[in-house]
Amino acid sequence: MTHPLVAIRSVSKNFGEFQALNGVSLDVRAGEVLCLIGASGSGKTTLLRCINQLTSVDSGGIWLNGELLGLREQGGRLHRLTAGQIAQQRLKTGMVFQRFNLFPHKTALENITEGPVQVQGRKRDDARAEAIELLRRVGLAAKADAYPSQLSGGQQQRVAIARALAMKPMLMLFDEPTSALDPELVGEVLSVMKELARSGMTMMVVTHELGFAREVADTVVYMDQGAIVESGPAAEVLGRPREVRTQSFLSAVI
Amino acid sequence: MRVAPVLAEGFPDISGMSVARRVHWGRWLAAAAIVVILAAIGRAFVNGQIEWSYVSRFLTAKVILEGIVNTMVMAILAMVLGIALGVVAAIMRLSPNPVLRSVAAGYTWLFRGTPLILQLLLWFNLALVFPTIGIPGLWSARAVDVMTPFLSALLGLGINQGAYTSEVMRAGMLSVDIGQYEAAQAIGMGRLRALRRIILPQAMRVVIPPLGNEFIGMVKATSLASVIQYPEVLHNAENIYYANSRVIELLIVAGFWYLLVVSVLTPLQMLLERRFARGSSQMAR
C-alpha cells in the first residue's frame, strides 16, 4: 500500500481554554474526496487551517506527501520552520475560504495570476493564458476583467477556486465554500467542485451540504468537540451512522 | 384601462396635483445676515490702517515667490520622508518581532511627545552637542556645515511627520480584513510581499484622506522652520517687515499664498482618492 497523501497523527490545538482539536488522526489518499461534517465549533475548520498552516498545531504532526509540515526533526528535537519555508510548503495546498477573500483591488484575472507571477516567478504571458483557461473551466471566461465587487458571490467563489488551482496544488482545501452564498448560487459552486473531483483532485471539504457529500465524497468524517467521532464511506456514515452522536447530528440537520 | 383617479373611496382626488416648492425663509434670512456681517468686516479692513498697495506690491515680489517655492519644496520632501518612515514604522509596529515592535513604539512616543519647534531647534543646534559628525574612519565633517537650515528643517519636519504617519498607516493596515492576509499567505506569499502587494494597496484607500490632512498640516508646519532661518515664505515675509515695518500687509501676503496652495491641494487629493478606489464598490465622491 502506498503512503497516504495527507497523514494527520494525534493533532491537538488549543485556543486558550478552548480545545479546538483533541488528538485527531486521519489519512487522505491521493485522489480522494473527503468531506468533514459537524456542528460549528467541532474543529473541522481548525483542522483544515492546520493543514494549510494558517494555524499551527500544539502537538502531533501532519505529513503532506511524506513531508512533515511546519517542523523539522534535528538531533532528536523538533524545530519550527522559518516563515519562508512554511510559505514554500503552503504552495502544495490550495485554500478556498468561506468568505472568498478575493483581492478587491485586482480583477478576476489578476487575482488568479498574482500567485503564479509574484510567488512562483512564472512568465506573465504564460500565467495569463493559464488563468484564462482556468476561468473558462469555472465558467467565467467572460468575467476576466471584472473586479470582485462586480461579481456575485457564486462567481467570486468560482474565481477563488481558480486562484487556488493556478498554484497547481496537490491538495485542495475548502472551508465551507458555500456557506456565505445565497441559496440560488450554491449550485454553481458545487458543480465546479464536482468537476474538480471527477478530474482526480484530492480534496478536503468542510461543508454543510450533505447532498454534495453523499454524491461526491469518497469518505465522510463526522467531528464533534475537536475529535473524529465517525469516518467511513459516504453512504455508510450518512446512510447508516453507527454512532449515536452522528445519528443525532444528521437527524438535526436533515 | 382607466388609471384610477380615486385613491380610495371617501378621500379627495390628489392625482395630478403638483407638490408646491417650500420656501426656506430661515435660510434666506441667515444668508442675508452673513452677507451683511462679511461686508462690515470687509469695510473695516478697507478703512483700517492697512496699506493695500503694499499687499499688492509684495504679493508677487521675488523674495516672496522664492519663499513659497521653498515652502512647497520643504513640505513635499519632508512629507515623502515622513511617509517612508511612517510606512516602515507601521510595518514594524505590526510585526510579530517584539524588538521591531518596541523600536517603532519608542520612535512614535519620542517624536510625537515633544513639540515640533523644539525638535527643529535641536537639529539645527546639533553642533553644540557634536562639533564633528561622521562615520569613524570613513567620513567626518563639522556639524555646523552639515546641519544647514535646509537639512535641519527636513530632518525635523520629516521625522516628526513619520511618527504621526505611522499611526495613520497602521490604522489603514488594520482596516484591511484579516482574510486578505490569509488569502495572500494561502497562495504562498511571505509577510512583506503580502503587505506590499495586497494589504498596502487596499490600506491606501483608507489613508489618503487623513494623509491629505497631514500634508496640509505639513505645508503650514514648514512656517516653524522660520525660527531656524530656513527661507520659507513666512520667514521671508518677516525679513521684509523687519525692514519696512509693514507687518500686517506682509502677513496678509503670506496668508494669501498658504490659502492658495491649500486650495489647489484639495482637488489633487480627490484625484488620488479616485485612483486608489479601483475595484471598490464605494467609489470616492
Please answer yes or no on whether A97 and B281 come within 8 Å at the CB atom: no
pLDDT higher than 90, residue B278: no
Instruction: Note whether A174 and A96 are within 8 A (CB).
Output: yes
Which chain A residue lies closest to B177 (C-alpha atoms)? A101
Strands A59-64 and A6-15, sheet pairing: antiparallel
Helices in chain A by DSSP H: which ranges?
A: 44-51, 83-90, 108-114, 124-137, 153-165, 183-198, 210-216, 234, 244-253
- Inter-chain residue contact B197 with A83, CB threshold 8 Å: no
pLDDT, mean of residues B119-139: 88
**Cβ A103–B198 below 8 Å, yes or no?**
yes
B185 contacts A114? CB cut-off 8 A: no
**Residue B270: helix, strand or coil by DSSP?**
helix
ipTM over 0.90 threshold: yes
Please tell me the pTM assigned to this model: 0.85
pLDDT of B282 strictly over 60: no
Nearest-Cα distance to chain A for B142, in Å, is 45
pLDDT tens for A39-61 read 988 999 999 999 999 999 999 99
Instruction: Please name the member of A52, A87, A97 whose beta carbon is closest to the beta carbon of B179.
Output: A97
Helix, coil or strand: residue B165: helix
Please, what is the average pLDDT of chain A?
95
Interface test with A, best of B187, B193, B205 (most A CBs within 10 A): B187
A149/B185 Cβ within 8 A: no
Residue A2 has pLDDT above 80, yes or no: no
Query: Nearest residue of A to residue B178 by CA position?
Result: A101
**Over the stretch B79-92, which tens digit does the pLDDT of each residue have?**
999 999 999 999 99
Confidence band of B15 (pLDDT split at 50, 70, 90): confident
- Which of chain A's residues have a Cβ under 8 Å away from the Cβ of B177? 99, 101
Residue pLDDT, tens place only, B141-197: 888 888 899 999 999 999 999 999 999 999 999 999 999 999 999 999 999 999 999
For residues A234 and A35, the answer to whether their CB atoms sit within 8 Å is yes
CA B43, distance to chain mean position in Å, is: 33
User: How far are the Cα atoms of A34, A160, A173, A176, B236 from residue A211, in angstroms, in the given order?
Assistant: 14, 22, 19, 14, 79
Q: What is the pLDDT at residue B281?
A: 56
Contact: B182, A54; criterion CB under 8 Å: yes
Q: Do the chains contact at A149 and B177, CB–CB below 8 Å?
A: no
Quote the pLDDT of residue B5: 55
Distance to chain A for B188, nearest Cα, Å: 5
Pairwise CB contact (< 8 Å): B187 & A167: yes
Chain A closest-CA separation from residue B76 CA (Å): 27
Query: Degrees (nearest 5) of the Cα angle B253, B258, B263?
Result: 125
Give the mean model confidence (pLDDT) for residues B109-130: 94
Task: Phi first, then psi: give them for residue A34, nearest 5 degrees.
Answer: -120, 125
d(CA A71, CA A61): 8
Q: What is the CA radius of gyration of chain A?
A: 18
Name A163's Cβ contacts closer than 8 Å, sequence gap at least 6.
A102, A111, A112, A114, A115, B187
Does B239 touch chain A if contact means CB atoms closer than 8 Å?
no
Asked if B140 has any chain A CB less than 8 Å from its own CB, the reply is no
Q: Hey, are the CB atoms on B180 and A103 less than 8 Å from each other?
A: yes
Grid cell at residue B212: 491629505
Cell of A239: 446512510
Residues of chain B with Cβ-Cβ distance to A144 below 8 Å are none
Segment among A16-30, B126-140, B238-252 with least mean pLDDT? B126-140
> Which of A88, A94, A118 is nearest residue B193 as measured by Cβ atoms?
A118
Set of cell numbers at residue B42: 470687509
B1 band by pLDDT with thresholds 50, 70 and 90: low
Query: With contacts defined as CB-CB under 8 Å, which chain B residues touch A164?
Result: 186-187
A101 and B280 in contact by Cβ < 8 A? Answer: no
Among the listed residues A227, A226, A225, A220, the one whose alpha carbon sits nearest the alpha carbon of residue A250: A220
Query: CA A158, CA A155: separation in Å to the nearest integer?
Result: 5
Residues 6+ apart with CB under 8 A from A159: A100, A102, A108, A111, A112, A135, A138, A140, A143, A148, A151
Cell numbers that stand for A103 in this block: 483581492
